[in-house]
Amino acid sequence: MRLVLLGPPGAGKGTQAKMLEGELGLPQIASGDLLRTAVRAKTPLGVEARRYMDKGALVPDELVIKLVEQRLQQADAVNGYILDGFPRTHKQAEALRQMLAGHGQAIDVVAALIVPNDEIVKRISGRRTCRNCGATYHLIFDPPRNMNVCDKCNGELYQREDDAEDTVRMRLQTYDTQTKPLLEYYEQAGLLRRIDGVGSLETVHQRLKTALAGVAQRA
Beta carbon nearer to ligand AP5, 109 or 195: 195
In angstroms, the CA 202 to CA 178 distance is 29
DSSP label of 76:
G
Active site annotation includes 127: yes
Beta carbon nearer to ligand AP5, 18 or 214: 18
Cis peptide before 87 (omega within 30 of 0): yes
Active site annotation includes 40: no
Q: Is 72 in the site for ligand AP5 (CB under 6 A)?
A: no
Beta carbon nearer to ligand AP5, 7 or 80: 7
In angstroms, the CA 172 to CA 125 distance is 14
Q: Is 14 in the site for ligand AP5 (CB under 6 A)?
A: yes
Stretch that binds ligand AP5, among 3-11, 69-77, 96-104, 145-153 (CB under 6 A): 3-11
Beta-bridge partner residues of 128: 137
Q: Is 39 in the site for ligand AP5 (CB under 6 A)?
A: no
Residue from the set 1, 3, 4, 13 that interacts with ligand AP5 by CB under 6 A: 13
Active site annotation includes 171: yes
Residue from the set 3, 19, 45, 58 that interacts with ligand AP5 by CB under 6 A: 58
In angstroms, the CA 75 to CA 77 distance is 5
Q: Is 15 in the site for ligand AP5 (CB under 6 A)?
A: yes
Residue from the set 6, 20, 29, 35 that interacts with ligand AP5 by CB under 6 A: 35
Q: Is 50 in the site for ligand AP5 (CB under 6 A)?
A: no
Helical H segments across 54-200, by residue range:
61-72, 90-101, 117-125, 165-174, 181-188
The sheet carrying 136-138 orders its strands as 136-138, 127-130, 157-158
Residue 209 CB, nearest approach to ligand AP5 (Å): 14
Active site annotation includes 218: no
Residues 6+ apart with CB under 8 A from 204: 12, 16, 113, 195, 196, 197, 198
**Amino acid occupying residue 196:** D
Interface positions with ligand AP5 (CB under 6 A) = 7, 9-15, 31-32, 35, 52-53, 56-59, 64, 85-86, 88, 92, 123-124, 126-127, 136-138, 141-142, 162, 171, 199-201, 204
